[in-house]
């Protein structure tokens, strides 16, 4: 890898900032100040800047408890994003593995490992997502079967994949789906004449939201949690 690229990835500096500090002879490679941003380095090269060894960190994985009013984007001109809630020096490459609507709360996974995120979001992998749903109107008993048979969404050909609906109270239910169509849960209930007033994601695949995380808080995933996907 090029020296300037390593500096960008490891520190969050822009490519032009990295090139400037290299040209100012601020960076040492194997003990010698170097001037060439294109110099080839690898994992065995000792790169030092400001007295600190510069190393590429491995991929990063986080879970966050998303509050309402926060968008699942990387940048947004108007709203706070889930990435803004991370207190990490270097945010480069971090993205959301499966978005939630601005008014949906709960589990959001964030990583800079694109292949890992793809296994969560790609329809081919059929990763389950479990939601707690609050509705305006009482649930009717026939819905469990209708959801299992596949709901037809307005404006879409074909049915949704079978979904598991578990009524909890008259107006609340757990819904488990294995796809991630746009506004899917809200549209599924709209298709049966009901309306979602609150939505919370409690689980993705085998990974539940850590209940010790207050809204807006996040933590790194443990190794065994990363390996679930």
Binding site for ligand URA (CB under 6 A): 100-101, 104, 183-186, 199
Euclidean distance between CA atoms 17 and 122, whole angstroms? 36
- Report the helix count and the strand count for the chain, using DSSP H and E: 6, 13
101, 103, 137, 140: the catalytic one is 101
Smallest gap, in angstroms, from Cβ of residue 115 to ligand URA? Answer: 23
Q: How far is 112 from 92, CA to CA, in rounded Å? A: 8
Nearer to ligand URA, 45 or 74 (CB): 74
- In the residue annotation, 101 being an active-site residue is answered as yes
d(CA 104, CA 67): 7
- Toward ligand URA, which CB reaches closer, 28 or 128? 128
**Minimum separation from the CB atom of position 61 to ligand URA (A):** 21
Rounded distance between C-alpha atoms, residue 157 and residue 198, angstroms: 27
Closer of 47 and 96 to ligand URA (Cβ)? 96
Q: Which residue bears the tokens 């109107």?
A: 137
Nearest distance, CB of residue 25 and ligand URA, angstroms: 50
List, by residue number, the catalytic residues: 101
């Amino acid at each position: 890898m090029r020296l300037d690229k390593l500096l960008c990835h490891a520190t969050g500096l822009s490519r032009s900032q990295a090139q400037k500090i290299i040209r100012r002879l601020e960076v040492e490679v194997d003990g010698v100040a170097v001037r060439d941003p294109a110099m080839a380095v690898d994992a065995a090269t000792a790169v030092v800047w400001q007295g600190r060894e510069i190393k590429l960190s491995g991929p990063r994985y986080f879970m966050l408890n998303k509050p309402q009013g926060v968008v699942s984007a990387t940048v947004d001109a108007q709203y706070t994003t889930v990435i803004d809630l991370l207190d990490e020096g270097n945010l480069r490459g971090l993205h959301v593995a499966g978005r939630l609507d601005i008014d949906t709360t709960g589990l959001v996974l964030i990583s800079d490992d694109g292949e890992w995120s793809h296994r969560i979001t790609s329809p081919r992998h059929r990763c389950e997502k479990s939601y707690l749903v609050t509705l305006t109107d009482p649930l009717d008993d026939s819905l469990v079967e209708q959801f299992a048979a596949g709901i037809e969404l307005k404006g879409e050909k074909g049915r949704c994949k079978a979904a598991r609906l578990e009524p909890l109270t008259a107006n609340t239910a757990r819904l488990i789906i294995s796809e991630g169509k746009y506004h899917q849960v809200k549209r599924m209930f709209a298709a049966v004449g009901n309306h979602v007033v609150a939505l919370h994601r409690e689980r993705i695949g085998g990974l539940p939201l850590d209940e010790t995380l207050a809204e807006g808080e996040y933590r790194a995933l443990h190794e065994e949690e990363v390996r679930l996907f």
